Amino acid sequence: MTTGESYYYGTGKRKNAIARVRLYPGGTGTMVINGKSFEEALPWLDWQKRASKPFDVIPEAANRFNVVAKIEGGGISAWADALRHGIARALLLADPSLKPQLRRNGFLTRDSRIKESKKYGLKRARRAPQYTKR
């Protein structure tokens, strides 16, 4: 893909994972993540299903776009959700009429759950040191 080619861009986030997604129109539905194939980057079937959910909801868009994504940070499970969020945002730019469908399925809402921070006097966020009576 050349640099002069037009594309739709969407940024997806989940925990510490950030996915920068480009949708190239006129594609065959191939997905490339960090220079690897979709199956190689997300080897577990559940991750693949979660990442491609927007295309399951909008099947006519599945074979119209090639997806190229760069994902950094977080774990591989968060990668799948960040990719889903990024694809949904890019699809919204490609076709604004898809907004109700994407919103109804919760793809445009960023999952704001993050790791709770550690508190002083505790071992972790809530784990207290073991109590000894004597």
- pLDDT bucket at 62, cuts 50 / 70 / 90: confident
Average pLDDT, whole number, for the chain?
Answer: 93
Determine, yes or no, domain membership for 131.
no
- pLDDT bucket at 4, cuts 50 / 70 / 90: low
Beta bridge partners of 36: 33
- Quick check: 63 and 98 in contact, CB under 8 A? no
Determine, yes or no, domain membership for 127.
no
Could you tell me the pTM of the whole model? Answer: 0.87
Write the CATH number for 27: 3.30.230.10
Determine, yes or no, domain membership for 120.
no
How many domains are there within the chain? 1
| Residues of the domain holding 100 | 8-104
Determine, yes or no, domain membership for 119.
no
DSSP 95: -
- Token look-up 């969407």 returns 10
Determine, yes or no, domain membership for 12.
yes
